[in-house]
Amino acid sequence: MTEIPRAEQERLMRAERRLGRLIIALIPVGIMVSGWHWGWAMAVAFGLGGILAYLNYRWIVAVVDVLVGAQRAKVPRKIYAKLFLPIALLAVLLYVIFSRAWLPGVGVLAGLLVLAAATLLELSYEIILGLRE
């Protein structure tokens, strides 16, 4: 197995931190836009979805860090829980939202897509950086 050069590791760590900050920055923007256009319930739903997206991102980063660090060692059981907990939490939350109609499900799903939007922004940034080099 080949080792990733140190400079590339640092670049990837910077991209990881930027992605987390992008998610955090996009959530209030989405809350304001959805609240302005569709009301407070949609803003709350978007915020909830955005928070879940950020938690999911942090859990994924934690799991990947442990798995990469434990390439040859035994993986702790709690890592498996961290891997599947976000999926279970999301399933329960979506069930409650759609069955009880407390919050608009579309808003929660839009908030969850903050992770995808931040990833696309980071990807665009990386492409621009690559073209400049």
Percent of the chain with pLDDT over 90: 41
How do the domains of the chain map onto residue ranges? Answer: 6-132
Q: Which long-range contacts (C-beta less than 8 Å, at least 24 apart) are formed by 86-94?
A: 86/52, 86/55, 86/56, 86/59, 86/60, 89/52, 90/52, 90/56, 93/48, 93/52
Q: Is the pLDDT of residue 1 over 60?
A: no
Q: What is the mean pLDDT of the chain?
A: 85
Q: Is the pLDDT of residue 90 over 60?
A: yes
Assign 73 a pLDDT band (cuts: 50, 70, 90): low
Q: Is the pLDDT of residue 130 over 90?
A: no
pTM, rounded to two decimals: 0.80
